[in-house]
Structure 1
Amino acid sequence: MNPGTPADHESTRTPSTHSPRPGRLGVGIIGAGRVGAVLGSALRSVDHQIIGVHAVSASSRERAELLLPGVPILDVEDIVERAELVLLAVPDDALADLVQGLAELGRWQPGQLVVHTSGAYGVGVLEPARRCGAIPLAIHPAMTFGGFSTDVARLIGCPMAVTAPAAVLPIGQALAVELGGEPFVLPEESRPAYHAALAHGANHLVTLVGQAVRILAAAGVEDGAATLAPLLSIALDRALREGEAGLTGPVARGDAGTVRTHLAALTELRDANGRPLDDVVDTYLTLARATVARREATGALGAQQVRALREVLSDHGEDSAGQPPEQII
């Protein structure tokens, strides 16, 4: 099995019209979610043949039709029987049972490439397939997917974590390049922490921004997203370029009085349904405490400033009787 020579990064990712290059594979996709259909489209654009896709929900079938027009929707066992490369783009919690179930049915084939896209797992989860003679690969693009054709272009230059047995690692790297990405080797044992970093940064960023928009809405600002866009764009850019040196704001300066004012205002706010923004207050407290700890560790704040900030954050964490929440039964 040979995935062929890595394709050159192209400015577009449209299917080619010339004769297929040597070493092209018949690819089967299990899971036409936001990731599977996009990666299938990228592989198709460099002449790999998508022999079938497994899609259960109506949205998955629509996505397959949009991104993989003309590709038949097949049962899982039919895909594994026909494909030289099986791309498993299923939820993390479903991956192990799927691989094990197909192994018990004797469906995995010797020499068949089996690639999953989970960030948290390495190739250990593919061990049942490996014991059947399949070649296990784990390739994870460090990218968020919407399930649209525009995602294919975003793969160009995208970092992709590749985990594989040493003998077949070049195959995984070549596939990542053909997807348009920039592969880097990630050890098996590093996958959970790697994925936690990405999820913490990207997923919780969405939660954080959503909370900021809700605060502005409760404060009477109509278009919170537009108000935040310039500030958050610059803040993210500085965070990535400068790290903690790019931090600004009242906690960074040691302005305990401003932090106290923030907490009082957030506590009083109500959403459109009259509900308090309790989750927002909790997040503010948690992140402010973490920021104080980092400023103290780096020497950016003096002992008196740290003490004043922690006093404000501690005072707000107490209930009306003066007990810290963790002491309440």
Structure 2
Amino acid sequence: MAVGVVGAGRVGPALAAALRLAGHRPVAVSGVSDASRRRAAELLPGVPVVGPDEVLARSELVLLTVPDDALPGLVAGLVTTGAVRPGQLVVHTSGRYGVSVLEPALAAGALPLALHPVMTFTGTAVDVQRLAGCSFGVTAPEELRLAAQALVIEMGGEPEWVAEEARPLYHAALAIGANHLVTLVNQAMELLRTSGVQAPDRMLGPLLGAALDNALRSGDAALTGPVARGDAGTVAAHVAELRRHAPRTVASYLAMARATADRALDHGLLTAGPAGDLLDVLGDGTHERGGGADGADSTGGPDEGDGGADGEDRA
């Protein structure tokens, strides 16, 4: 098929490049910024950069790869100008929306699909390789499920069917798992630099890789660290140091610690006694217990040593 891309952000050119490898023909791309034009030139060499209406005029399959908030207005505008043709496959890549956002295009005779690649994109050629084995959150009318599945597989991905009404929850889950992770990792690296660590990325890499692997394999049983141990003194020391050196991180630390404590309680990793002291600390983050701010009691905890000699639960 002739493939067009409306919105040469980080996602659209990579998907079109993957479709080119599968035998389709990227024929047009739209992009306004210099960065968009550079991405189009790198990932789709020789493909002309034209206006959105012209992209649709040249294409049998159109990828709408614009920010979520811009998508409804874009669809309505394209339909109003008569750019959408009957029988044209119109695909958006938003995680938030299903196919209902494409109803104006459906009314104009187009075939609507929601194909959301569950991947973080860089806007470079490496994205095309990363699509191999990547899950896609797919929402499609029943009669187009086979077409949606075929397109995802051609791009190297694996379709995962998501109901229309479940799209916002599905997307929130991915934001928590990926977008928030980037923030947490960068906070951790900044704090390590402040503490004098010269190579925080090298220090965190093996730890975070193991934590992710353990979480995916074992779920909440993978929880470790002072919150899961109920080590209120250590947590209080953390909060005191964060207030002193990085006050902007206190809110996220407390929020994640509370969430961790809830999960540890629900799964029997944290007992009621230690939990009471811990939740008292997490209530406002101002209490200090045991060894106080210097964390003198940080090696304690009711399950000390469960991690073995290598202290694997000290993260």
Fold similarity call, TM over 0.5: yes
2:261 paired residue number: 292
Alpha-carbon shift at residue 315 of structure 1 (Å): 4.6
Count matched residues.
287
**Which of 118-127 and 183-192 deviates more?**
183-192
1:301 paired residue number: 270
Q: What SS does the corresponding residue of 1:60 show, helix, strand or coil? A: helix
> Where in structure 1 are there 5+ consecutive unaligned residues?
1-24, 270-276, 319-329
2:107 paired residue number: 131
Question: Residue 175 in 1 paired to residue 151 in 2?
Answer: yes
Question: Residue 250 in 1 paired to residue 226 in 2?
Answer: yes
2:121 paired residue number: 145
Question: Residue 201 in 1 paired to residue 177 in 2?
Answer: yes
1:52 paired residue number: 28
1:107 paired residue number: 83
- Partner Cα distance (2:153, 2:6) in 1: 21
Q: Deviations over 1:207-255 (max 9, x none)?
A: 0011111111111222211221111111111111111111111111111
User: What percentage of residue pairs aligned between the two structures are identical?
Assistant: 55
Residue among 285, 288, 291 paired with 1:316: 285
Residue among 230, 238, 244 paired with 1:268: 244
Q: Deviations over 1:274-311 (max 9, x none)?
A: xxx22211111111111111112222222111101011
Q: What SS does the corresponding residue of 1:265 show, helix, strand or coil? A: helix
- Across the aligned residues of Structure 1 and Structure 2, the Cα RMSD in angstroms comes to 1.1
- Partner Cα distance (1:297, 1:199) in 2: 23
The letter of the residue matching 1:245 is A
User: Is residue 223–residue 264 contact of structure 2 (8 Å, CA) maintained in 1?
Assistant: no
Residue among 16, 38, 42 paired with 1:40: 16
- Partner Cα distance (1:300, 1:112) in 2: 54
- Partner Cα distance (1:51, 1:38) in 2: 14
The letter of the residue matching 2:250 is V
TM-score between the two structures when normalised by the length of structure 1: 0.85
- Over 3 Å counting, the alpha-carbon distance change for 1:317 and 1:100 in structure 2 is farther
- Partner Cα distance (1:87, 1:101) in 2: 15
Question: Residue 186 in 1 paired to residue 155 in 2?
Answer: no
1:121 paired residue number: 97
Question: Residue 282 in 1 paired to residue 251 in 2?
Answer: yes
Q: What SS does the corresponding residue of 1:140 show, helix, strand or coil? A: strand
> Where in structure 2 are there 5+ consecutive unaligned residues?
288-315
Q: What SS does the corresponding residue of 2:282 show, helix, strand or coil? A: helix
